[in-house]
Amino acid sequence: MRRPRIALAVGATLVGAALLSALVGPLLAPHSIGAVVDLDVFSPSSAAFPLGTDYLGRDVLSRVLTATRYTVFISFVATMIAASVGIFFGLAAASGSWLDMVLSRLFDIVIAIPSLMFGLVVITSLGASIPVLIGTLAVVYTPGAFRTARALALNVAALDFITVARSRGEGLSYIVLREILPNLIGPLAADFGLRFVFVALLLSGLSFLGLGVQPPYADLGALVRENIAGLGFGAPAVLFPALALASLTVGLNLTIDTLTGGRKATR
């Protein structure tokens, strides 16, 4: 019984730290993001530069704090769009037969395109701006959200209380919004968190390939990429961005697991 609580505490701390640095990180940063402040490159941690410096001699701490904002912000907006669109169409599909057919096949087509490939094609043709990034990530992850919402809604729609509402003559919007949706909040929240992690990882992947956030700004994936040469020296410049990304995803997963697990147990 103690394990979930510890997991929750650890997860919540990690997520909280990520959110905090996304919100106020740039204000806390000791140096400006583009400023070259050290004559040496890939220098180890010191009192002046707690996380060392990067391949140009910039302060890694400042860069990680700023990059987290980009990763969290872009991922959050993209996930939000993917989840809202997915849930909307998922619920619509769960309530009508031909609509279900059309929507399901449509999203199947999107899902059939490898996500990284899709990202590469779109971004190379439209250019790597932040709106394009958000749009691409949202498109890639909408079908998953659609499928989850549809499957969950279909399960609930088969229950007797929906039949009672139907036999009373309730309209579709009442049934979907008032009877079905409240029962999906828990699982959909879990799905949202999970999808956020996927989006953050894909974003980092794109950035690592040079297609993500463009210099002088950077997200966590871009930081890893630009400092990859420091891997040979064991420079903190490459380790800490990677660590930040890992702690964000692990923290979020721990939180989701305990929250949804707890919900199940109390039922």
Partner 1 sequence: MTALVRLSGLQIAACKDGGVTSIVRDIDLCVEAGEVLALIGESGSGKTTIALALLGYARPGCRITGGEIEVAGHRIDRMDEAALRTLRGRVVAYVAQSAAAAFNPMLTIMRQVIEPALVHGLMDRAAAETKARGLFRALALPDPDTVGDRYPHQVSGGQLQRLMAAMALITDPALVIFDEPTTALDVTTQIEVLKAFKTVVRDLGTTAVYVSHDLAVVAQIADRICVLRGGTVQEQGKADQILHAPAHAYSRALVGAAAPRVPAEPIAMPPPAPGEAPLLELRDIVAGYGGLDANGRPKACILDKVSLTIRRGRTLGVIGESGSGKSTLARVVAGLHSAAQGYVNLNGVPLASRIADRSREDLRRVQLVFQNADTALNPAMRVGQTVGRPLTFFHGLRGRTRAAEVARLFDLVRLPAAIADRLPGELSGGQKQRVNLARALAARPDLLLCDEVTSALDPVVAEAVLDLLVDLRRELGVAYMFITHDIERVRAIADDVMVLYGGCQMELADARALGSGPHHPYSRLLMASVPHLKAGWLETTMDPFAPVPGQAGATADGCRFFSRCALAMPGTCDLVRPASLVADDRLIACHRELAEL
By the criterion CB under 8 A, which residues form the site for partner 1? Answer: 1-2, 5, 159-161, 163-164, 166-170, 178-179, 182-183, 185, 265-267
**What minimum distance in Å lies between the beta carbon of 11 and partner 1?**
18
- The minimum distance between CB 85 and partner 1, in angstroms, equals 23
| Residue closer to partner 1, measured from CB, 96 or 215 | 96
37: three-class secondary structure by DSSP: coil
Contact 63, 38 (CB under 8 A): no
HSE, side-chain direction, 13 A CA sphere, residue 41: 11
Q: Distance between CA 25 and CA 77 in Å, rounded?
A: 18
53-to-1, 34, 196, 232 alpha-carbon distances in Å: 43, 12, 29, 15
Q: How far from chain centre, in Å, is Cα 121? A: 21
- Shortest distance, CB of residue 169 to partner 1, whole angstroms? 4
Would you say 160 or 232 has its CB closer to partner 1? 160
Q: To which residue do tokens 């769960």 refer?
A: 94
Nearest to partner 1 of 28, 151 (CB atom): 151
In whole angstroms, how close is the CB of 164 to partner 1 at the nearest point? 6
Considering the complex, state which of residue 10 and residue 37 has its C-beta at the smaller distance from partner 1: 10
How far apart are the C-alpha atoms of 151 and 157, rounded to whole Å? 10
Q: Are 219 and 67 in contact (CB under 8 A)?
A: yes
What minimum distance in Å lies between the beta carbon of 83 and partner 1? 19
Query: Rounded CA gap, 25 and 30, in Å?
Result: 10
Q: Locate 35 and state its tokens.
A: 């400023």
Looking at the Cβ atoms of 48 and 177, the one nearer to partner 1 is 177
Q: Is 98 helix (H, G, I), strand (E, B) or coil?
A: helix
Least Cβ distance, residue 111 to partner 1 (angstroms): 29
Q: Which is nearer to partner 1, 114 or 171 (CB)?
A: 171
